[in-house]
Amino acid sequence: MIRKTHLPPDATLLQVAGDLAAPEEYLRRLLGNMRFCQKRHGDARVRIGVTGKHKGKGFSPSYRIDYHQDGVETVFNGFGGTSHSAFTETNVRETNWSRGHATIQEVQRLYDELRKGDSHKRDPKTDGTSRQDGSRDDVTQSVPRES
């Protein structure tokens, strides 16, 4: 059974990134929503929902994107963490959002680091012959030479 648990009230996406379900896909879709806000308003920051169904590793927190304009923080919208669909105004108001936030630059760095780490696992030199322990089978193909 999944129990409702709470994250600390100032939790940020950067702090819970290691517990995300499908982190690369989650961050890719979140960044798409953040870029839309940034394009329209010049800024984007993300807060995560701090209440909900969290069961250790493998959760997808809802999130709210805000922007600063003329020194005032304004809510862009809230989004479901699994579907990444926009919330209604009521959902945005009624969700318990973290006091902490992450900037679009911080989220982009996190995404880049995650992808960089994955690219080391998918070394193109190994032709898919890598083992989970990091060792590999060297596969050489002989190519006939033309005389």
* Measured distance CA(19)–CA(26) in Å, rounded: 11
Write the pLDDT tens digit of every residue in 87-109. Answer: 999 999 999 999 999 999 999 99
Write the pLDDT tens digit of every residue in 14-49. Answer: 999 999 999 999 999 999 999 999 999 999 999 999
* Measured distance CA(26)–CA(18) in Å, rounded: 12
Nearest to 44 by CA among 23, 64, 70: 64
* Measured distance CA(26)–CA(4) in Å, rounded: 21
User: What's the whole-number average pLDDT of the chain?
Assistant: 81
Helix (H) or strand (E) holding 17: none
The region of weakest confidence among 57-61, 115-119, 133-137 is 133-137
Cβ neighbours for 86, distance < 8 A, ≥ 6 positions apart = 77, 78, 79
Helix (H) or strand (E) holding 5: strand 4-6
Quickly tell me which residue has 């780490």 as its tokens.
Answer: 117
End-to-end CA distance of the chain: 70
> Which contacts (CB < 8 Å, 24+ apart) does range 121-128 have?
none
Beta partners for 52? 5
